[in-house]
Amino acid sequence: MLRIFVMVFVMVFVSGCVDKEEERKQEQKKVLKQMMNQKYDHRSLEQRIKDSEEQEKQKRKTQ
């Protein structure tokens, strides 16, 4: 009986460690995606600023 309990405990412990490792890998992937998105968003933000400035110029011309 004690053997079975110890085996189950070890299996749960090992599976918990594996799950934590998977979570770390997923977290690293999320961070990398966020970094890539920030670079892309930074460029698109610059473009958005330019576009909004052009729109303001157009509005001034029409008024």
Residue appearing with tokens 């930074």: 42
Q: How many whole angstroms separate alpha carbon 16 and alpha carbon 3?
A: 20
**DSSP label at 1?**
-
Residue appearing with tokens 């053997």: 3
Residues in the chain, total: 63
The string of pLDDT tens digits covering residues 11-63 is 888 787 777 888 889 999 998 888 777 766 565 777 778 888 888 888 888 77
- pTM exceeding 0.85: no
